[in-house]
């Protein structure tokens, strides 16, 4: 539609949560065949795809873990219903986290946000439904420029917003009251993995004493980081920053790195809004213990689950 935007590398992409919904839909399709082998095959493909394209997307990784465990213990029995209930749970948790965050916004607040997050959108939606008045600065969020999609969403909600380049965040921070952002993953020490620029935004907010709230249901928590795993941060190249035509106009030797995520340290985050309430990022082990019954929770890695599933299929056939 906006030809010119493709020159800037604008691209539609799934948010961390909508990615989970897409995953569930794809598994649902393959499960309708009633063939466990095919479902496991599909499952493995999805795991591979996520680990390749979105290795920091813990909404998807945690969903795949739960689904894998279900397949291990029950196979396809009640699988469809399980997928539906999982979808409903993710959807509900995202709304609940948004509701908690919305409670922190008061009439007349000026917010700033980056990228495009489903749960952050829901914060805006709830505020509009409650009749609260607010304005939003939206960073364009290169690479990908999905900030434009957030601005479009706010436009349709009838909320006044200001679209700015990523470089202008500090310039406008003096006008802002609160930063509201989404997350791709949350590490056990409270560090937030978000779209690249998130850590810069939270640094700038802190410098200006602007509070930073992260809307992240518990499914975004990276349980692997408890065992010292690092969240993998993928990078792209010039293809995420411009069209092939624009690339042709640049010298052959031109090189670009396009990081997709960065990590905001816990001390720049004032609160994480989850479906269980608003927490200090450093309190994460407490909620994890509450929810899983122990700390560290007993979980299996996707690799382990994949291997067990293979044995199960192999043994069953």
Task: Note whether 162 binds another protein by CB under 8 A.
Answer: yes
Dist CA 60 CA 56 (whole Å): 9
Smallest separation, CB 102 to another protein (Å): 19
Residues in region 166-225 near another protein by CB under 8 A: 166-172, 195-197, 199-200, 203-204, 207
Smallest separation, CB 195 to another protein (Å): 8
Task: Note whether 56 binds another protein by CB under 8 A.
Answer: no
Q: Are 65 and 222 in contact (CB under 8 A)?
A: no
3-class state of residue 229 by DSSP: coil
Nearer to another protein, 130 or 171 (CB): 171
Q: Are 96 and 163 in contact (CB under 8 A)?
A: no
Task: Note whether 120 binds another protein by CB under 8 A.
Answer: no
Neighbours of 290 (CB within 10 A): 11
Among 258, 283, 299, 308, binds another protein (CB under 8 A): 258
Smallest separation, CB 132 to another protein (Å): 16
Among 14, 93, 96, 140, binds another protein (CB under 8 A): 140
* Terminal-to-terminal C-alpha distance of the chain: 50
How far is residue 229 CA from its own chain's centroid?
Answer: 19
Task: Note whether 257 binds another protein by CB under 8 A.
Answer: yes
Task: Note whether 165 binds another protein by CB under 8 A.
Answer: yes
* Type and span of the H or E element at 71: helix 58-74
DSSP secondary structure, 174-188, as one string: TT-SEEEEE-SEE-T
Among 187, 238, 274, 275, binds another protein (CB under 8 A): 238
Smallest separation, CB 239 to another protein (Å): 13
Residue with the two structure tokens 């689904």 = 67
Task: Note whether 6 binds another protein by CB under 8 A.
Answer: no
* Type and span of the H or E element at 49: helix 36-53
In sequence order, the β-bridge partners of residue 181 are: 214
Q: Which residues bind another protein (CB under 8 A)?
A: 2, 4-5, 114, 138-143, 148, 151-152, 154-155, 158-172, 195-197, 199-200, 203-204, 207, 238, 241, 250-251, 253-259, 262
């Amino acid at each position: 539609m906006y030809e010119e935007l493709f020159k800037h590398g604008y691209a539609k992409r799934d948010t961390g949560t909508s990615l989970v919904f897409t995953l569930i839909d794809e598994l649902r399709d393959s499960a309708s065949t009633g063939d466990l082998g095919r479902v496991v095959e599909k499952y493995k493909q999805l795991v591979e795809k996520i680990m390749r394209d979105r290795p920091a997307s813990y909404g998807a990784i945690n969903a795949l873990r739960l689904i894998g465990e279900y397949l291990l213990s029950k196979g396809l029995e009640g699988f469809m219903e399980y997928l539906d209930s999982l979808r409903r749970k993710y959807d509900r948790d995202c709304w609940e986290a948004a509701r908690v965050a919305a409670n922190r916004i008061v009439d007349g607040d000026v917010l700033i946000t980056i990228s495009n997050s489903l749960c952050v959108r829901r914060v805006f939606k709830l505020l509009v439904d409650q009749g609260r008045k607010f304005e939003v600065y939206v960073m364009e969020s290169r690479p990908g420029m999905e900030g434009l999609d957030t601005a479009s969403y706010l436009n349709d909600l009838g909320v006044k917003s200001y679209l700015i380049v990523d470089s202008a965040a500090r310039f406008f921070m003096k006008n802002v009251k609160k930063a509201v952002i989404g997350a791709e993953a949350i590490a056990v020490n409270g560090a937030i993995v978000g779209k690249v620029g998130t850590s810069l935004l939270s640094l700038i907010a802190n410098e200006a004493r602007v509070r930073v709230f992260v809307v992240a249901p518990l499914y975004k928590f990276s349980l692997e980081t408890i065992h010292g795993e690092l969240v993998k941060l993928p990078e792209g190249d010039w293809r995420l920053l411009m069209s092939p035509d624009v690339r042709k106009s640049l010298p052959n030797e031109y090189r670009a790195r396009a990081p997709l995520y960065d990590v905001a340290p816990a001390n720049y985050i004032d609160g994480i809004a989850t479906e269980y309430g608003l927490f200090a990022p450093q309190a994460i082990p407490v909620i994890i213990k509450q929810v899983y019954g122990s700390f560290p929770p007993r979980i299996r890695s996707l690799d382990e689950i994949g291997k067990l599933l293979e044995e199960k299929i192999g043994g069953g056939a």
